[in-house]
Structure 1
Amino acid sequence: MNGRSTLIVLLPLMCAVAFLTLRDTLSTGGTADTVVAAAFVVIEVVLCALASRETRRAR
């Protein structure tokens, strides 16, 4: 597997982990943890969008 296909395989897993982290953080009520988890979610969404664009471009 090249780097791009590895990234495409790992992105859904990373997005799921970021979502679960944010959900758990919100349920515990930690403000600083919520900000960090939200930042991770934003980063993962941007990476998912970039990977999606690269996938469409590769076709």
Structure 2
Amino acid sequence: MIDYVANHFGCNINNKVYDITGDVTDKYKWEYWSFCTDRNLISQIMSQCIYF
């Protein structure tokens, strides 16, 4: 999950979104980044949020 405006990445588990601080479901406007079609944005997410 990602909030594109805040540039914040989270993990969806059992309909809740978590980051390193815990449950952040209601803190951000979450979208599934896997539905993103912008290849540059996907590369950025992968390198900065997943493969860091």
TM-score for both structures, normalised by structure 2 = 0.34
TM-score for both structures, normalised by structure 1 = 0.31
Return the structure number with greater helix share: 1
Q: Which of the two has higher C-alpha Rg?
A: 1
Relative contact order, CA 8 A, sep 6+: which one is greater? Answer: 1
Return the structure number with greater strand share: 2
